[in-house]
Amino acid sequence: MRDYQRQKNNPYKLPHHLYMRMLYLVRDYERIRSEREDILNASPPTDGVPHTGIGNPTEQKAIRLCELGNKCAAIEKAYESIPPEYRKAIWNNICYQSPYPIIAGEATYKRWRCRFIYEVAKNLHEI
């Protein structure tokens, strides 16, 4: 499966590097969500020895949690902007490179896929 965006009559065209970044961000959604859950459910190490290291691990976890939460929210919001009948097919095509079903034309799916990637970039304030 080639990862390209439509060129002609595409109001949602992004620069190539930004398009690819957003595409791989969507493909990485499951890992981002599980990393976010791991941070939420992690407990601090308790070995009984005081640590004198410089840094604030709680602050670093909070910052990382906020970054991951923003990415997840942007992807989920863009996902909700797709009509329900195309959501699963577009998600499977992006994440697992599965072919589109025959329910609608391939151009329709590609148009909505491009719009989905554009909405992710817009939600992350990249454009």
| Residues 59-114: tens digit of each pLDDT | 888 999 999 999 999 999 999 999 999 999 999 999 998 998 988 988 899 999 99
Q: State how far the Cα of 4 lies from the Cα of 23, in Å rounded to an integer.
A: 10
Q: Is residue 99 part of a domain?
A: yes
* Containing structural domain, residue 23: 16-41+56-123
Q: Is residue 60 part of a domain?
A: yes
Structural domain count of the chain: 1
Q: Is residue 2 part of a domain?
A: no
Q: Is residue 51 part of a domain?
A: no
Region 33-42: mean pLDDT is: 91
pTM comes to 0.86
Number of neighbouring beta carbons within 10 Å of residue 117: 25
